[in-house]
Amino acid sequence: MNFSLIKAAIVAGFVVFFANHLMWQATPFRASSYFKSDCAVRKCLNENTKESGIYSIRPDGSEATPVRVVAFIDKSVSHHEWAIRLISILEKIIVAGLIGGIMLVLRANNIPGRIETILMISLIITIGGFGSMLLWCSVPFSISAFVLVTTFLSWTIGGLVVARMLKI
């Protein structure tokens, strides 16, 4: 196991996580809207949902219209935000390690194009990971576009960190 790769993956994973966090903090999307009565909405959801899951509704009630995701319901007793953040950081470290591994293989085979490789990998992550967000979840275009741009930028920065630390 390459210790330099592990170190680069850990640093880049944290860089990507915090780059995403900072970009979200700089936008109006981070502010949530609230219901008039959270208690009434929670009561209605509890009465009409049987388990945790993704719930959707057709906006006009017909079978012909596309589905709009309405709520992600979590009926579990323990829901810790720190655990979600920890898993997110671990996921980013693993992906950064994979990026570093690809870059090391390319370097070993004398294939040039560090920046092109980083941009291509960032684009693959962006499209593969979040390309369907606009269509599948019916997320508003402005939020979908923002997620795509921040994902691309943060992984480009992360790729540059990996390349710099591995001296590629």
User: What are the contacts of 144-149 at 24+ separation with CB within 8 A?
Assistant: 146/27, 146/29
pLDDT reported for residue 11: 95
C-alpha to C-alpha distances, 144 to 2, 64, 72, 89, 149, nearest whole angstrom = 37, 24, 17, 21, 9
**Is the pTM for the entire model greater than 0.75?**
no
Beta-sheet pairing, 53-57 with 68-73: antiparallel
Alpha helices in the chain (DSSP H): 3-25, 38-48, 81-108, 114-130, 133-136, 141-165
Assigned domain for 68 exists? no
Distance CA 12, CA 165 (A): 9
Assigned domain for 28 exists? yes
Assigned domain for 43 exists? no
Burial of 108 (0-12, 13-18, 19+ CB in 10 A): exposed
Query: How many independent structural domains does the chain possess?
Result: 1
Distance CA 151, CA 157 (A): 10
Roughly how many angstroms between the first and final C-alpha of the chain, as a whole number?
Answer: 18
Any idea which residue has 């994902």 for tokens? 151
Assigned domain for 155 exists? yes
- Left (φ > 0), alpha (ψ -120 to 50) or beta: where does 110 sit? left
* pLDDT tens, residue order, the chain (168 aa): 578 889 999 999 999 999 988 998 888 777 767 778 878 877 887 787 777 766 666 666 666 555 555 666 666 655 567 777 888 899 889 888 888 888 888 888 887 777 888 888 888 887 776 666 665 666 677 777 888 888 889 989 998 999 899 888
Assigned domain for 92 exists? yes
Assigned domain for 73 exists? no
Distance CA 158, CA 89 (A): 12
Which domain does 150 fall in, by range? 3-32+80-165
Assigned domain for 59 exists? no
pLDDT reported for residue 60: 64
Assigned domain for 25 exists? yes
C-alpha dihedral sign at 146, 124, 107, 91 = positive
